[in-house]
Amino acid sequence: MKRIFLALCMFSIAFLSAQTETSGKYGTVKNLEINTKNSDFGPSYLGENQLIFASPKRGFRIIKDVWEQNGQRFLELYVGTINNETGEVSEQEKLKGEVNSRYHDAQAVFTKDGKTVYFTRDNYYNKILGIDNKGWTNLAMFKASVNNEGEWINIIPMPFNNVEYSVGHPALSEDEKTLYFASDMPGTLGETDIFKVDVNQSGFGNPTNMGDKVNSTSKDWFPFVDKGVLYFTSDRGEGMGGSDIYAAKLEGFSPDPVLLSEPINSAADDFAFIIDNETRKGYFSSNREGGKGDDDIYSFLEEETVEFKCKQLVTGEVRDKNTTDLLPGAEVVLSDEEGNVLETMVVGEDGVFTFEVLCETVYKLEGKKVNYTPQSKGFTTDNEADKESKLLILLGTGDIDFISDGSGVDKTTEELFRDNKPEGAPEDPDDLPEEIKISTIDGKYLVNINPIYFDLNSSYLNKQAKGELQKVIDLMNQYPEMIIESASHTDSRGADGYNMWLSDRRAKSTVSYIIERGIDASRITGRGYGASQLMNDCEKGVKCTDAEHAANRRTEFQVIKM
């Protein structure tokens, strides 16, 4: 089978591997009567009773309207009427207006009012066909308006199209404020990744990669969103063969994507999944045996929704029990109730460990390091999905100490001061030098500078930031034994994994700047906290101004040792 994307042939190879767990229950799939011997695929909804799909051109032929990769004519977009009882599609016709070009047109998604559409096309605009530096024509994504006659007008290219890479396969979030798409633009993890971009009154934000909780080193494409779940297609190795359909959570701590059960997935290529939010009837595409030719569109009924394992995140630091110094190189081992080792990691310079754990499960965590006594203690997770627990492992000669910030116990300000007091700090906070302040929120000892803020999706240090960092450098020169942690944070917009990655970049950017100006690397560490420590109530789903979000994109400097 050969299918259009990235202007490359995609030859599907079925192979066996360690297959991932499947979820969801689906009724018998049905091959639609509208399918032809050619490639019919990529369904999407238009209102409640119409289906859009792609199929090769039909009728009168012209010169050079055949795609050499599969010997079929270029794709066009068609629309048909859905029979809500049988799922069949009838009265199909080519879409009206300017939509269908001389080349490939496919994969469309409409807003709920039917007035705006996003779709995929060969990079062809104003009668000019874009060619990259290798002589290929890549895909591009376009936006159009739909007039009262159903014609597509005012077709414009998306601002992040580029002749050197492909952009396509649009999908909208349920509130239509986020547009998802597939691309091989710079920054992809695999052949193609799924990205998202904010849709606002002024246009569009900057595309954001969905990260490794969704994307793989293979091809990930054909996104669709329903009830907080991202459905997408991937040819990663753990599927049933060829391309398979997966589901991933969009909110909270996201476990690994779930492979949809048979008969949705098969040993062939299965892709372009959509489902009605209310009826739970849907469509997908496949080139499985028993079809009418190449790719066909199939209907199905969802009987049981896809389920995700209840998971939590356990993260923390390893420190010396007596000095509270970080212990880089310490080994942390996670075991089950019977003592079977589940995962082992050696912490880096930041002393941080992170484990994914199941809900309502007993675990044992053990810390080890040369010249320290190995220490361990059990813990049990509760039934709260997506919960993040922060633990502190203190290695010494006594029992291991676990300190969690999720206990819900209220502490007085004096207790917070005492719990966070760095080695060498005065007992009375009033005796602190004016360059040091204590946070009234969590009792942390912070360098008293103006917060360093970053632009959205940026780790670049501007002139104002460098001026504040000079104050940190001056203070560390004044106190030669002072040890500081650079803690960087993001706002809540963007995927959790991406936020952790971005905040880590910001932390490393500030640490590198300080080290380059003469501060010993052993005296400063950097850590990204993502959006886990917001300064306000601007969590995911909460409407906030840009200024309120900006307050969370900051870097602070906590004093670990005076």
Please state the three-class secondary structure of 444-460 as a single string.
CEEECCCCEECCCCCCC
Question: How far is CA 12 from each of CA 136, 260, 465, rounded to the nearest angstrom?
Answer: 21, 19, 50
Q: What is the dihedral of CA 308, 404, 417, 317, to 10 degrees?
A: -90
Q: What is the dihedral of CA 345, 350, 356, 361, to 10 degrees?
A: 80
pLDDT at residue 4, rounded to an integer: 43
> How confident is the prediction for the chain on average, in pLDDT?
83
What would the pLDDT profile of 206-237 be if each residue is shown by its tens digit? 999 999 889 999 999 999 999 999 999 999 98
Candidates 556, 365, 381, 359; CA nearest to 469 is 556
- Which residues are bridge partners to 300 per DSSP? 282
Tell me which of 72-76, 139-143, 148-152 is least confident. Answer: 72-76
Count of beta carbons in the 10 Å neighbourhood of residue 53? 26
Mean pLDDT along residues 350-368: 91
pTM, 2 dp: 0.62
pLDDT at residue 128 greater than cutoff 90: no
What would the pLDDT profile of 267-278 be if each residue is shown by its tens digit? 999 999 999 999
What would the pLDDT profile of 391-431 be if each residue is shown by its tens digit? 878 887 544 344 333 333 334 445 556 777 888 888 777 77
pLDDT at residue 13, rounded to an integer: 28
- Which residues are bridge partners to 30 per DSSP? 299
What would the pLDDT profile of 445-483 be if each residue is shown by its tens digit? 888 887 676 666 666 788 888 888 999 999 999 999 999
Q: Give CA–CA dist 487/460, Å, rounded.
A: 15
What would the pLDDT profile of 317-358 be if each residue is shown by its tens digit? 888 877 778 899 999 999 988 888 999 999 999 999 999 899
Cis peptide before 43 (omega within 30 of 0): no
pLDDT at residue 334, rounded to an integer: 94
pLDDT at residue 432, rounded to an integer: 81
**How many Cα atoms are found within 13 Å in the side-chain-facing hemisphere of 365?**
27
Q: Give CA–CA dist 1/31, Å, rounded.
A: 18
pLDDT at residue 17 greater than cutoff 50: no
